[in-house]
Amino acid sequence: MYSGPSLTSPYGAAPARRALAGLVLLACLLVLALATAGRAHAGTGAYFEPRFTKTTTNTWFFNYTRVQGTDNTYFLCFTLRKDGVVIEPSNGNNGPGSQNCTGNIYNNGASGETGGIQPDAGNMPLAIGSLYEMCITDFRSSAVIYQFASSACQSTRIDNTKPGINTFVNGTDVYTRNLAITMHIDYADAIAVPYPANFVCLALGGGCTPDLATGYAAGCSQPNVPLNWINDGARNNSFDCNTTLASNTPDGVVAFCARAADQAIPDNPASNNQLAQPATSANISDPSCGSVILDRTPPSASITASATTVKVGDLVNFGAQSSDATSGTSGQYTWVFGDNTANGAGPTTSHTYTQPGTYAAKVSTSDGAGNTGEGTQVITVNPPATGGGTGGTGGTITPPPTNKSIGNEAGGGGVQETTFAGLGVVAPKTFKIRRGHRKLPLALTSAGAGRLTVALALGRKVIARGAATFTRAGRFGFKLKLPAKMKPGKYKLKIGFKPAGAAKTITQTLTIRFKGARPGASRAAAAHSRFRAG
């Protein structure tokens, strides 16, 4: 670590000391030593050493001020530690020129000087990853005793390895339709923390190589884990930043690439200013790139229909087709039939229109980036065809009523619905017994041809029966003829349907409450009739 009489110039060794004779002289010298012990001592200091050094042969720089000792003897000693263990010791009590100590460097008058010092060749190269500490201690004489005055230490950890990074754009997203994007850098180093300084580039269509001369990005260089002199946990760190792409950026790959610097800068054996070095002189990671696919073009969508001109009650089968050149389609579809009924879902669906008119059926879907596309098909619905069904005894086939009209015709009590055996049924919940209202209205939606039977019973007694034959699929109205005299109460409506080709009839039962007219209603009506006649 040290050889030679001084750090900066070759001063001669101090004159040899003659043996002291007699106890009196020795006592005098001891008194003199005590008297001068409080005199000003030499000052030593250490220049800042980087926390991490990119080297295997490091030079430490120290400064010191020569001062006058009682016998004109003043020297410096150096100690080196590796990971807290002394590997090059010194002992100033042995005097000038002892192991790792300078010779006498006394000089009349104070003067500041600087010197650099390296470990002995036997302890180099310095081990990567180890922490080395160099200390300087100054000694001066007090009679025949060499007295410690001051000490200064500085340390550094050796790191010649580059950090590793991973970069991401918009997290784990594969596609985006937003021009505002976020970038993320994960940093990892077994030894050193980030500089922090990241060099980045942004490219369309593929990767790029960050330029160390021009690619420094301050906004992408603020570490998420704060850096300080004791936080080694910051070796695993990350950075976040964002940008907004130009409005005319074409669809396609947007790549973000980065390189990161650690804090291990090279040793400068010719200067005590070790810290005045740019980030580019440190260990630099290999490039890492992340990307996202920009897609701002909505998918195309279209509809196929089993028929575009139908009659009321006809079943229309719809199918959806879609495509997207960049991010593909989601495969999820939402249908709007244009007649204020509930929406449909899926790549295929069916719908029956209950009123004549022209309707715009629409299907919407999205692509992998979230853009929405829509397709439209116009459906023309004509009045219901005749001959779709024939009524039997006690019943009549009618044009298909709406749910609202069924409720109104039955006295305003609302409707109930059921579906079985490919037959949908809408019936009133209640029926108000009134003069001139002797038919129970039903709406029936059949998936195909079949035979309908209807029976209305009060208790065990059947008071009305009806039947109908459907020759095709569709929506139909049916009215069951009621007897002239109806009693209020709960009635059971038993509905049977045998699809064409089926072996048996499937039945379903609904409950309908029949309500009587308000007391005195008939008399009031008769009086009104007489009044008008008079």
pLDDT digits (tens, 9 = 90+) for 392-429: 667 788 888 999 999 999 998 899 999 999 999 999 99
Quick check: pTM over 0.85? Answer: no
Condensed to tens digits (0 to 9), the pLDDT of residues 300-329 reads 999 999 999 998 878 899 999 999 999 999
The pLDDT of residue 391: 60
pLDDT at 473 over 80: yes
Please report the pLDDT score of residue 394 as a whole number: 74
| DSSP calls for 174-191 | SEE--SEEEEEEEEE-SS
> Band of the pLDDT at 531, cuts 50, 70, 90?
very low
Q: Please state the φ and ψ torsions of residue 133, each to the nearest 5 degrees.
A: -125, 125
Are residues 142 and 69 in contact, defined by beta-carbon separation less than 8 angstroms? yes
Angstrom distance (rounded) from CA 441 to CA 443: 7
Q: Beta strands 506-515 and 423-428: pairing type?
A: unpaired
For residue 383, the one-letter residue type is P
- Tens of pLDDT, residue by residue over 122-173, are 899 999 999 999 999 988 876 667 777 789 999 999 999 999 999 999 999 9
Give the Cα separation of 155 and 135 in Å (integer).
Answer: 9
| Among the listed residues 477, 425, 470, the one whose alpha carbon sits nearest the alpha carbon of residue 450 | 470
Q: Can you list the domains of the chain with their CATH numbers?
A: 23-158 (2.60.40), 164-294 (2.60.40), 301-382 (2.60.40.10), 389-515 (2.60.40.2550)
Name the residue among 196, 214, 202, 212 with its Cα closest to residue 169: 202
CA distance readout (Å), 476 to 228, 452, 468, 511: 82, 11, 10, 21
Residue 348 confidence (pLDDT) above 50: yes
**Contact criterion met (CB below 8 Å) for 14 and 72:** yes
Average pLDDT over residues 59-82: 84
Phi first, then psi: what are they for 529, rounded to 5°?
-65, -40
Query: Residue 107 pLDDT > 90, yes or no?
Result: no
